[in-house]
Amino acid sequence: MSRMPLAAVFRYVVLAVGAIIMVTPFIYLLSTSFKPQAYVLTIPPEFIPNPATTANYEQVLTSHNFGLYFLNSTIVTVISTVLSVLISSMMAFAFARFKFRGRELIFRILLIGLIVPAMMLIVPQFVLAKQLHLLDSLVGLIVFYVAGTLALNTFLLRGFFEAIPAELDQAMQIDGASAWSRYWRLAIPLAKPALATATIFTFLANWDEFAWALTIITDQDKLTLPVAIQLFQGQNATEWGLVFAASAIAIIPVIIVFLVFQRYFVQGLTAGAVKG
């Protein structure tokens, strides 16, 4: 009986030690963003900024149209994440719940898309985007962000859809439910933890994407945050206080998305199945 609290204490100690290791560099980043002057990475590291200043944040927020870049990033990331998760969940549903000609072949081709280094595709994609008149536009970002995250999300969601017990599916079919309603009313609600995971990862990937945005966006009013942050890194000197302050601001939306979507984790498959 008395073992239970002890086990719980042990569990918390292990978790806390791990959490400290995970968080230390991040705290370092935050503290640096509050330090005055360039090159604030002192050795050995100082965790308490002395003197502390909010000058870096003020400069970040007032220079370079930061608000506009933040808005651009938000628009692009939200739209591309929604589209990517929707389209790839449809593909995953097809792979998981149907047997059809070319299923494994198409899936493996998708897998190739995951594996070819994206850097190598930049030049052909750039030429393609030019032909499609997608250069220098947020639409150009969205289209390629969606395309770029499809394979991964499909791969991820396929497993979750496969895991849905066949009995539920068959029961719905006997009731005469169409494929679409089995997808929308059964698969999607039951795969909430997976969809939340896919949403969190896709949002992060698109929010942080740099190379493609750098390549196709030239109009300074259409820049996204990662490129704008890179502008704080100079040729001969980088003001790390600024870079880290900008990075700290840029992390906020990803954390919000994480906190919002992670609550779907408490609704497990079993709970859903009982309800279904």
Instruction: Show contacts with another protein in window 66-125 (CB under 8 A).
Output: 87-88, 90-91, 93-94, 97-100, 103, 106, 108-125
Q: Does residue 238 sit in helix, strand or coil?
A: strand
Closest C-alpha among 189, 230, 224, 191 to residue 79: 224
Write the binding mask 125 to 164 for another protein: x where contact by CB under 8 A, - elsewhere: xxxxxx----x-------xxxxxxxxxxxxxxxxxx-xxx
Is there binding between residue 173 and another protein (CB under 8 A)? yes
* CA–CA dist 149, 84 (Å, integer): 7
Rounded CA separation 112/91 (Å): 16
Question: How many other CB atoms sit within 10 Å of the CB of residue 19?
Answer: 11
Restricted to residues 195-224, the positions that interact with another protein (CB under 8 A) are: 196-198, 200-202, 204-206, 208-212, 214-215, 218, 220
CB of 129 to another protein, least distance (A): 8
At 69, list the tokens.
Answer: 């870049």
62 binding another protein? (CB under 8 A): no
Q: Which amino acid type is present at position 255?
A: I
Interface with another protein, residue 188, by CB under 8 A: no
Enter the DSSP assignment of 182: I
- Kindly state the smallest distance separating residue 118's Cβ from another protein, in Å: 3
Between 52 and 179, name the residue whose CB sits nearer to another protein.
179
- Give the nearer residue to another protein in terms of CB position, either 58 or 71: 58
Rounded CA Rg of the chain: 23
Tokens (6 digits) for 3: 């073992």
The minimum distance between CB 203 and another protein, in angstroms, equals 8
Tell which residue, 247, 248, 151, has the closest CA to residue 201: 151
Q: Work out how close the CB of 44 gets to another protein at its nearest, in angstroms, rounded to a whole number.
A: 5
Per-residue x/- marks for another protein, 4-43, CB under 8 A? -------xx-xx--xx-xxx-xx-xx-------xxx-x-x
d(CA 122, CA 126): 6
Provide the strand spans (E) within the chain: none
- Between 2 and 42, whose beta carbon lies closer to another protein? 42
Smallest distance, another protein to C-beta of residue 78, A: 15
